[in-house]
C-alpha cells in the first residue's frame, strides 16, 4: 500500500517524464541567431553629417513612417515651353529662370549665410506626422476619398518670406501664396479631419501657406529678414515673360517614408 507521499512523488515523476518527451517527428526549436537579434534590437542612429547637417524632427523607430501631404511645385515651375531659349543659353541651369533667381539670392546672402537649394519645393498641406505601418492603406484610402471633391486650381506666389522650423535648427526662404489660398485652406480642413481619426496633429492654426525653395542651418531668421528687402527686389526683377510664378495644381502627393501616393484632383 502506497503512502500519500509516495503517490505524490510518483505523480510528479510521471509529469516530468511527459514534459520531457518530444512528440514523434518533431524537433525542438533552434535558438534565434544572434544576427537576427541584433537586427530586431538595433537602434537606428541618424548622422547629420550625411544629411547636410539636418536633424530629424522625430527619432527613427521601426514600424513608424514619417509622412507628409503637399502640393508638388517644381515640375510646374520649370516645365514651361518658353524656357527653351533660356535653357539653351544657360545649360548649367537645368531649372531655367527659377535657378537664376535662387543663384542670385544665394550670392546675395554670402558670405554671412550659406543658403542651399531645396530639391523639391512644395506647399505643405499637413505637418510632418507619423503613421504606423498597418495604418497606411486605410489612411491613404481615406485621404483620397476626402479630397475627391477638390477641383484643379491655380496658385500664384506674391513675395518672399522667412520661416524657421519648430526646432529652430533650420531657416527657410519661401515664396508666399497669394491667389489659391481658398482652395488650399479647404484641402487642409479636409485633411485635418482625416488626421483627427488617427489622433494626429492638425495643420497650424494660423497657417501661412508658402513654398520654401532655399534653406540654411540654424536660426537665421533675424539675419535673413535684414536682407529681405533686397531679396524681394531680386524676386521682382525676375518676374517677366520667362518666369511665371503662377502654377497649375492638378494633384497632391502623400509621401509616406520613401513611397509617394498621387492624389489627382478633378
Q: Which residues are catalytic?
A: 122, 210
What phi and psi values does residue 185 have, to the nearest 5 degrees?
A: -60, -45
List Cβ<8 Å contacts ≥24 apart for 88-96. 96/242, 96/243
Four-point Cα dihedral 49, 55, 61, 63, nearest 10: -100
Joined grid coordinates for residue 230: 533686397
Joined grid coordinates for residue 11: 505523480
Q: Which among 108, 116, 111 is positioned nearest to 216, based on CA atoms? A: 116
What phi and psi values does residue 195 have, to the nearest 5 degrees?
A: -65, -35
Q: Are strands 64-72 and 210-217 parallel, antiparallel or unpaired?
A: unpaired
3-class state of residue 260 by DSSP: strand
Amino acid at each position: 500500500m502506497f503512502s500519500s507521499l509516495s503517490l505524490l512523488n510518483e505523480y510528479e515523476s510521471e509529469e516530468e517524464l511527459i514534459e520531457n518527451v518530444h512528440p514523434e517527428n518533431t524537433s525542438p526549436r533552434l535558438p534565434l541567431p544572434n544576427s537576427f537579434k541584433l537586427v530586431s534590437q538595433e537602434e537606428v542612429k541618424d548622422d547629420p553629417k550625411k544629411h547636410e547637417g539636418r536633424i530629424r524632427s522625430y527619432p527613427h523607430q521601426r514600424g513608424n513612417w514619417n509622412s507628409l501631404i503637399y502640393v508638388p511645385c517644381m515640375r510646374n515651375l520649370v516645365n514651361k515651353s518658353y524656357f527653351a531659349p533660356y535653357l539653351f543659353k544657360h545649360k548649367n541651369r537645368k531649372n531655367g529662370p527659377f535657378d537664376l533667381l535662387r543663384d542670385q539670392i544665394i550670392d546675395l546672402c554670402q558670405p554671412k549665410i550659406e543658403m542651399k537649394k531645396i530639391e523639391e519645393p512644395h506647399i505643405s498641406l499637413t505637418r510632418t506626422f507619423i503613421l504606423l505601418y498597418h495604418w497606411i492603406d486605410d489612411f491613404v484610402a481615406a485621404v483620397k476619398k476626402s479630397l475627391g471633391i477638390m477641383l484643379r486650381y491655380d496658385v500664384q506666389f506674391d513675395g518672399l518670406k522667412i520661416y524657421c522650423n519648430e526646432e529652430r535648427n533650420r531657416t527657410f526662404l519661401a515664396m508666399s501664396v497669394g491667389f489659391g489660398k481658398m482652395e488650399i485652406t479647404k484641402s487642409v480642413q479636409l485633411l485635418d479631419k482625416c488626421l483627427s481619426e488617427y489622433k494626429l496633429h492638425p495643420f497650424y492654426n494660423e497657417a501661412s501657406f508658402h513654398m520654401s525653395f532655399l534653406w540654411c542651418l540654424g536660426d537665421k531668421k533675424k539675419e535673413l529678414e535684414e536682407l529681405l528687402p533686397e531679396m524681394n527686389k531680386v524676386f521682382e526683377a525676375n518676374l517677366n515673360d520667362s518666369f511665371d510664378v503662377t502654377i497649375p495644381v492638378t494633384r497632391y502627393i502623400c509621401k509616406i517614408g520613401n513611397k509617394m501616393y498621387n492624389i489627382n484632383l478633378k
